[in-house]
Amino acid sequence: MNCEVCQLNELEVEHFEIREVLRCILHTILFHRALGLVRPKDVDLELFEITYVQCGDVEVERKIDEKIDQFIDRVEKHPKKKNQICLSFYEVKNKQATWFTNKVEHLYWEQWYINLNVMQHPKTPSGKSHHSKLVVDPGVEAGGARRVALEASLRDVLFQIIKFVNEKKDHVPSIPNLEGFLFPYEITISRCT
């Protein structure tokens, strides 16, 4: 089985936008891969005029928030480096339990790469207040335009997910093999190469 890889478009986000953007993207992907009985939950983004759908599972929500926190921590520790979140769906193969190990093989059949470029604002010294004014004041209007652009980009990313999900369906495991309502998945944070 081939592993389908989808590189989502890169999004330039502010630090405070990371959580909402990642939640939106991750939940949208998982909703399309939760082929069991789900009660969809509509969620309105606070920063953008976008409504996305969650699969309505508390455990999934918790897991996603946990990974987002890890991502934010990494971004704070390495602000100058681009980080990437990878959402992978796999099948469990060859469960081999031995005396010492319990080998479980994950056969990935789909991977989603979410690329975020977290913008860093230059820190101004406290003494140079006049300089900070020069930086902040013109950015008000630019910030609004950037927000609008980001919303459009985020919407494009969501449509990108929808297109990918509908274009490539053959690699998705059959539903009878589904345990639970959602295919096994994992979220990893890596550094962009």
Partner 1 sequence: MASYHGNTRSGAPEIEQIITVIFAGCLHIILESRCPYVSFPKHSSEQILSFPFPSPSSSPSPPSSCSSSSIGLRDKWFKLAHRDCPAALENIGFSHQSNLEPMIVDVILVKRSGNWDLVNYSPKRGYARNLSGKEWYRCSSENDEFGCEIESEKIIERWVVQYESKQSGDNGGGVMGSNRATCKSSHELYKKSILLLRSLYATVRLLPAYKVFRDLISSAQIRAYNLGHRVSSFVEPFTSREEADMQSFVFPPLDTSCGRLCLSVVYFSSELDIISEPSTPISPQVIHEYVGSPMVEPLKRFTAVPVSQCSPSSSPFGRRHSWSYDLYRVSPSSVNPSPSPTYSESCASMPKQLSHRFPPASLRHHIPNETPPAHMKDPNFHEYWPSPTFSPSSSPSPSPPAYNPDSHILKALFGSESAPFGLSVSRLSPLASMPKNQLLPPSPSMGTCGHRVAKTDGYAGLYPTGSMVDKLFASAKEEAGKLSGVKQSSNSSSMKSFSRSPSRFSFQDNFDDSEFSGLLIPDDDDLPESSTRPDAAALFHLLEKAPPLRPDISITTNLVQDSKPVIEEISPESLLGESASLNFSSSEIESSKTTADAFTELVEYKKMKELLLKQCKGTQA
Q: What are phi and psi of 80, to 5 degrees?
A: -85, -5
- Shortest distance, position 133 Cβ to partner 1, whole Å: 34
* Closest CB to partner 1 among residues 105, 167: 167
* Closest CB to partner 1 among residues 39, 77: 39
Distances from the Cα of 28 to the Cα of 14, 41, 151, angstroms: 21, 11, 15
* Closest CB to partner 1 among residues 132, 160: 160
Q: Which two tokens stand for residue 191?
A: 């550094």
Token pair 């093989």 is found at 105
d(CA 59, CA 74) in angstroms, rounded, equals: 23
d(CA 193, CA 78) in angstroms, rounded, equals: 14
**Quick one: which of 53, 86, 107, 189 contacts partner 1 (CB under 8 A)?**
53
d(CA 181, CA 118) in angstroms, rounded, equals: 33
- Shortest distance, position 90 Cβ to partner 1, whole Å: 18
Please count the residues of this chain forming the interface with partner 1, following the rule CB under 8 A.
30
Q: What is the DSSP string of 3-31?
A: -EEEEPPPEEE-GGGHHHHHHHHHHHHHH
- Shortest distance, position 92 Cβ to partner 1, whole Å: 19
Q: Which of residues 140-179 bind partner 1 (CB under 8 A)?
A: 155, 158-159, 162-163, 165-167, 169-170, 172, 174-176
* Closest CB to partner 1 among residues 42, 59: 42
Residues that bind partner 1 (CB under 8 A): 28, 31-32, 35-40, 42, 49-53, 155, 158-159, 162-163, 165-167, 169-170, 172, 174-176, 181
